[in-house]
Structure 1
């Protein structure tokens, strides 16, 4: 019923069904739903979301633009939060109807309007978007400053008359200003920008450019796509291929991994029957996939599978920001392992792909959050530093960066929250090497790309201050790739109370803008061909209710 028209409740068959399912129950009419039930549900959900936003340690935002079937454009703004229990929340702040040209200024104005509506404009840690020129420009405008809003926090407009200066408040503002200035000069190793380009989109562009640069590879992709199209457009061909038990998958231009799935489905058809193309109608010999093409397709699958695993991992809601930098070194390791008998077309493609990937991900080596996320990820810790030539020899600098950033975050939290919320340094007993890793919240298949990180080391005892917590954490065993990051930090929040604060803050940054795409998928189902008269304002409300309905269960 979530995706059905509101008027469906008034249909005779629906009322009959409801009366059979629940005798005596009469579904509310359209007017009651629109004018009474929906506003009440919206108000209740907005209050719950407001409480969650005001009590969060940090908010990260993902944005994107989508156009409905009727031609209406919407700006999706999704917030990511990790609460004090280390439970991740992905909430929809607004699916805002945006009219007119999608200029950078217009996008930024809508973004600011939504943040002011929720009173969270000073609590945003990062903003994640794709690499579209209007998005990049929107968050490079002079008004979009990393430190400006934070420096203005609680200062007021300077026109309020007071009887006497509040010394404690003035000292608090002075301390905040000193902290922010320290953060600005902190970047002797890295710099941190509020705007984060979506790593998934950058990966899409890297693969797309590599395919476009190699004519033979591009030709094979086009040939496979035409063969699949021939199968799916003909009922006779479809009936014949169905006998193989394999359904060829079509590719989507905006999702490169759909091209990989298309290739895999075609290779499965060759495994079932090598002569299946001979039975197709309306296909000439020059358009058929040859044996040499099959060898190249098999090579492409081997090359692109690690990128598909990385894409799937980054599309998870929260907790995978630390995977970005280890992935760069791991991809290079796997690309350098191409065997000598690999076809020349594949070898040249691999070289270009690795170069494109490295070039587009180079920006993340200058990103404080991404670097610290890799260090705070218990699957990688400082092991990725030793493996990555770009940061080898900087272990001490990166470790000191983590210490200073943790001290800054803890200092702000101590001044802006109750002192009881910040635990005192504690002494940790020596870790038992026989204790198993924390059980992951959901079992996932081990990703082969990070299989080499399976070896772990054991820890020793340390009395912890901030620096001691960092040392103790790095000495603790590295965990396998199945572990849930948030589960680990929740279980160690009493052992590593100060590190857990910055971990909670950093891992609230999503590793991509996939959460906004999921919102648009829901909006697309709601604005189907059966609901073409749905007003933009009504669609905006329905999407908000549907996406945030999980809050009813989580809170």
Structure 2
């Protein structure tokens, strides 16, 4: 497998074919037909020389990327193979020079029991110290497992001399509300970049602890689970669906009938995301008469009444938005934290509007609303402009900052909330102040320099002040505007041009705002990237490949996950 024959590299690494296939005569003939200069390689050489060489080359590229990166976010999780051997996987996420999110697996290492938070933390620090990126980590995304929560609760610093800092802004305070008249349009000349104070022993923000963020997708599925478990009025019809699903995967007669009807019933699985939604959808896709015929094949048959069918349709309508958002988060395209606030708002509005259409499943809507208020308390409280507690989930300002700095969202997600003009403007003021505070906190902007610029106009700026359409554009032009975060933010929010995140920021000359956009856009909405790595590991460690050595298995996973760098 060498650079002269990329076919073999693609087939073995990218397509996941077994290593010993290179010894097969037909495989060699096939590669010779594809590449006349193909040189056969033995499986022994493949394992001992070629794969390690590929890994070294990929590691070099990863180190080059890391050296050119100032801020990155990690997703971390633990996985167990068929032999019950556990591994710790760590992916890191950055925004490249084209403002496109990128994800790479930096390590897939053996993780021995006990799987305590302390062991997870130490294993993580060993990996980060080896790559020398501990100081560059901005956020850590994990699921809600207790060991993960405990491991990264206080960041990556094991010593206690660092204070746990998080700049919390009280939405009701005067600092967040420089103007008492919230019925006016947003006037950014009312804002200033304040000087955030740190303890005397902290010299640089980059040295402060980083913080764990919960996986949005996992929290979303927990909301669905809460709603279904607590909505007792729908439990009877759901039990019918689960019973039918269980029998349909054990009965040959039922399987034959479903095959004849060209239908299938989804298999229920409590650990599978969207399991109930997929089950109900598969059952409703079968006509009522055919469904009755299928049920009669059961040993203890029952009947889906008209009310049952109507209830199932209501449940499907209620959960549809949850399903759509989770599918978006699980897509191959990397989904950043900018999606979180608009998604939560969408679910709030969806549940609010669907109440009028619901007859049998009102309890489910109510329980879903309560669960969202609990599991996304930080976001809900900031929207409602009430005090945000330290233990509120999703209380990090990065979710609002990322949403506003994503040109696909900005403040558009506010419209559906139908807030009063006063409330909406006040919320906008709060989020704008969060952005300005974050710029000052992270990039050391001098508040005096900003305030000396004078009063800023609120009129819409010309496009040439924001985007570069001419190759001869002078980066030093309008330097006073570019260096002023208040003016940059005003220009950005008033810019009428619609573009996705990468297109917009790749051409933007708003330097301070762009730096912050790069930082917050590295934060992923969920731990889906690490789950995709585990999907690869499951394919590599198939039932026929349990004899792989540990090192070879880790190398194959590493190369498969980073195949874009091959």
The alignment partner of 2:74 has SS state of strand
2:472 corresponding residue in structure 1: none
Distance 1:327 1:550 in 2: 30
1:393 aligned onto 2:393:
no
2:439 corresponding residue in structure 1: 406
- 2:79 pairs, out of 66, 82, 94, with 66
Deviation at 1:295, TM superposition (A): 0.7
1:362 aligned onto 2:377:
yes
- 1:252 pairs, out of 260, 264, 269, with 269
* Deviation sequence 1:201-227 (CA, Å, 0-9, x none): 111111112111123423333321321
Gaps of 5+ in 2: 1-11, 165-194, 383-394, 447-458, 468-479
TM-score by length of 2: 0.76
Query: Measured at CA, do residues 19 and 83 of structure 1 come closer, stay the same or move farther in structure 2, by a change above 3 Å?
Result: closer
Query: Measured at CA, do residues 286 and 325 of structure 1 come closer, stay the same or move farther in structure 2, by a change above 3 Å?
Result: same
1:526 aligned onto 2:547:
no
The alignment partner of 1:109 has SS state of helix
Query: Measured at CA, do residues 117 and 198 of structure 1 come closer, stay the same or move farther in structure 2, by a change above 3 Å?
Result: same
What is the correspondence of 1:46-445 to structure 2 with a 5 Å cutoff? 46-141=59-154, 144=157, 194-270=211-287, 274-279=289-294, 282-284=297-299, 286-316=301-331, 317-340=333-356, 342-344=358-360, 346-364=361-379, 365=382, 366-384=395-413, 387=417, 393-411=426-444, 430-431=462-463
Higher deviation after alignment, 220-229 or 279-288: 279-288
Query: Measured at CA, do residues 180 and 383 of structure 1 come closer, stay the same or move farther in structure 2, by a change above 3 Å?
Result: farther
Distance 2:311 2:18 in 1: 48
Q: Verify the 8 A CA contact 1:146 1:194 in the aligned structure 2.
A: no
Distance 1:473 1:182 in 2: 35
Deviation at 1:400, TM superposition (A): 2.2
1:477 corresponding residue in structure 2: 496
* Deviation sequence 1:120-158 (CA, Å, 0-9, x none): 11100000001100000001258638998899xxxxxxx
2:503 corresponding residue in structure 1: 487
Deviation at 1:198, TM superposition (A): 0.7
The alignment partner of 1:76 has SS state of strand
TM-score by length of 1: 0.77
* Deviation sequence 1:357-381 (CA, Å, 0-9, x none): 1210113443121121122122332
Query: Measured at CA, do residues 20 and 230 of structure 1 come closer, stay the same or move farther in structure 2, by a change above 3 Å?
Result: same
Distance 2:197 2:343 in 1: 33
Gaps of 5+ in 1: 152-176, 414-426, 436-461
2:388 corresponding residue in structure 1: none
Distance 1:34 1:395 in 2: 57
Query: Measured at CA, do residues 50 and 503 of structure 1 come closer, stay the same or move farther in structure 2, by a change above 3 Å?
Result: same
Q: Verify the 8 A CA contact 2:156 2:209 in the aligned structure 1.
A: no
2:563 corresponding residue in structure 1: 549
Distance 1:40 1:412 in 2: 45
Deviation at 1:29, TM superposition (A): 1.1
Distance 2:75 2:376 in 1: 19
Q: Verify the 8 A CA contact 1:231 1:280 in the aligned structure 2.
A: no
The alignment partner of 1:77 has SS state of strand
Query: Measured at CA, do residues 239 and 182 of structure 1 come closer, stay the same or move farther in structure 2, by a change above 3 Å?
Result: farther
Query: Measured at CA, do residues 143 and 476 of structure 1 come closer, stay the same or move farther in structure 2, by a change above 3 Å?
Result: closer
Distance 2:532 2:292 in 1: 37
Query: Measured at CA, do residues 289 and 69 of structure 1 come closer, stay the same or move farther in structure 2, by a change above 3 Å?
Result: farther
**Aligned residues: CA RMSD:** 3.4
Distance 2:406 2:37 in 1: 55
